Amino acid sequence: MTDTTACVRELNLYRQYFDLVAAGTKTIEVRVKYPHLADLAAGETIRFRIKGTEETCEVKVVRVTEYTDFEALLHGEGPANVNPTATHDEQLANIRAIYPPEKEALGALAIEIGPL
């Protein structure tokens, strides 16, 4: 018997980024390549949640691309797709404030997302 249930991944997101995803203006989500995300694939659904709330937003995974670090990811994906409200340098600083160097060393994932 095969399981045909669609995979829905739940990920926390800060309010400022959640609002951009919900508005459809943030099309690339940045994550560290943690083991639980290593098999994330196009076609899956991500349910973003603002931590500590019931507020959610579901999106479809369009593509997942791995990069060696956040600098390479921003260069490859374009900063406007990651956060249209911040410059490249601001984004790099913000991402690195969330993920310390030992996390970045695991690799960076650019998750292209779109509406369901």
What pTM, to 2 d.p., does this model score?
Answer: 0.93
Collapsing DSSP states into helix, strand and coil, what is residue 37? helix
Residue-level pLDDT at 51: 87
Neighbour order of strands in the sheet with 108-114? 8-12, 45-49, 56-67, 108-114, 28-32
The confidence score (pLDDT) of residue 6 equals 65
Instruction: Look up the CATH superfamily of 8-115.
Output: Hypothetical protein. (2.30.130.30)
At 60 the pLDDT is: 98
Mean pLDDT by 10 residues, the chain (116 residues): 66 96 97 96 97 95 98 97 97 97 98 96
Q: Please state the φ and ψ torsions of residue 57, each to the nearest 5 degrees.
A: -150, 125
Domain boundaries, the chain: 8-115
Q: Alpha helices of the chain — where are they, by DSSP H?
A: 15-23, 70-77, 79-82, 88-98, 101-104
Query: How far apart are the C-alpha atoms of 105 and 113, rounded to whole Å?
Result: 24
pLDDT at residue 3 in the model: 46
pLDDT score at 77: 98
